[in-house]
Amino acid sequence: MWRFLIACGLVLMGVQACEAAPRETPVALTIDTSQADQALKILSEEAAGRTPSNEDWRELFATIPYQWLKARESSLGRALTDDDFKRFLASPEALAKRADWSQTLERMKVADMVAIGRSVLAWLPAGATIRAQVFPLIKPAANSFVWTEPKGGGPAIFLYVKPMSQAQFENTVAHETHHIGLNSLADQQQTRLVDQPERVRRAVEWMGAFGEGEAMLAAAGSVERHPHWEDDAASRARWDGDLMHFNTDVAQIAQLLSDILDGRLNTDEQIRQRAAPFWGEAQGAWYTVGYEMAALVERRFGRAALNEALLDPRELLVRYNQVAAEADAKGATLATWPAQLLARLGVGATN
């Protein structure tokens, strides 16, 4: 006993009992603006009629976001050279965007990253972790994405710097971190499918695309808030208009899942081509149908049921069908997932 007390540090009168080692925090979300900062510094030099120094370029190329961007592009067979980037920053188009980029970056810098991570964690099952870096990037291609550095660097959210409000930035980060947090529970998700045939596993894995809508809900933070609350009226109207063909989208996705289960779609490439319209030019059916089902399940059954659906997308369909049946009994006309499809996926019509 005395050895235990000494090991705990109880060697002086009045010293409190040793505490357990602190647990690792579930949220480690940081922002690294070094690439964008250095790019803006170079643009400022050019705007003033000065030639950026070799040291200016070395500092830019040494930033982690830039190095990871090059590694990601190379992994996709799209080499990005330092000379390419020099030409990009020297272009009139880049100089014209300097003020907008600078204003947007300043809005990003004041965001509370830990608070964003914690708010998203509240929309994830127990045990989820959010560990990621956010890289605002000034770069030639105007795309944003999530990429995991293969040497153990962890996932990073690469965000193209374009005019956006602080609320839009925070909403975007929240959306992407929901994906990252849910992915941290991949082992739990897989255990629910280990006894299922390969075609069922493939279909359920593709049903994970409903996570786009689930992330929309988590980023909004409430079923009472419009999923495009931070955007302009046109964006909200587009979303509302897309929801008008919810029933048709449900039927088309049901057919996609049936074709996977029937073996008519045997490879991920075949499925990807068929599923492409569900991504949409901005946000397609994976977003709208996923969001609507998640919001209805959250409203009717609560967070525990939604969390279960996050771990097993089949449960999202089952729970949604219950909500739709109740609504239709009162005069609504919500589409439901075919009972035969649910049976083939290995779940019953009710839970």
Choose one of 166, 184, 202: the last residue of a domain.
184
- Between strands 145-149 and 154-160, the pairing is antiparallel
Q: Does 228 map to a domain? A: yes
Measure the CA–CA gap between 184 and 299, rounded to whole angstroms: 25
Q: Does 349 map to a domain? A: no
Q: Does 204 map to a domain? A: yes
pLDDT of residue 77: 92
How many domains is the chain built from? 2
| Alpha helices, H only, the chain | 2-7, 34-47, 54-61, 64-75, 82-89, 92-96, 98-109, 113-121, 166-183, 186-191, 198-207, 211-220, 233-243, 246-262, 268-275, 285-301, 303-311, 313-328, 339-344
Residues 192 and 244 in one domain: yes
pLDDT of residue 151: 86
Residues 228 and 273 in one domain: yes
Q: Judge whether 135 and 73 are in contact, CB under 8 Å.
A: no
Q: Judge whether 313 and 208 are in contact, CB under 8 Å.
A: yes
Residues 168 and 206 in one domain: no
Q: Does 8 map to a domain? A: no
What digits encode the pLDDT tens for the residues 172-195?
999 999 999 999 999 999 999 999
Q: What is the pTM of this model?
A: 0.89
Residues 195 and 339 in one domain: yes
Residues 261 and 116 in one domain: no
Q: Does 11 map to a domain? A: no
Q: Does 338 map to a domain? A: yes
Choose one of 162, 184, 206: the last residue of a domain.
184
Which tokens hold the place of 108?
Answer: 């990003």
Which tokens hold the place of 104?
Answer: 């947007």
pLDDT of residue 131: 95
Q: Judge whether 88 and 52 are in contact, CB under 8 Å.
A: no
Grouping H, G, I as helix, E, B as strand and the rest as coil, residue 247 is helix
Residue 165: domain span: 27-184
pLDDT of residue 282: 81
Residues 220 and 336 in one domain: yes
Q: Does 180 map to a domain? A: yes
Residues 156 and 194 in one domain: no
Q: Does 324 map to a domain? A: yes
For residue 325, CA distances in Å to 258, 259, 331 come to 22, 25, 10
Residues 173 and 195 in one domain: no
Residues 70 and 138 in one domain: yes
Q: Judge whether 118 and 303 are in contact, CB under 8 Å.
A: no
pLDDT of residue 23: 56
Residues 138 and 251 in one domain: no
Measure the CA–CA gap between 234 and 50, rounded to whole angstroms: 42
pLDDT of residue 281: 84
Measure the CA–CA gap between 213 and 290, rounded to whole angstroms: 4
User: Residue ranges of the chain with pLDDT lower than 70?
Assistant: 1-23, 348-351
Show contacts of 119-122: CB within 8 Å, 24+ apart: 119/174, 119/221, 120/174, 120/177, 120/178, 120/181, 120/218, 120/219, 121/26, 121/27, 121/181
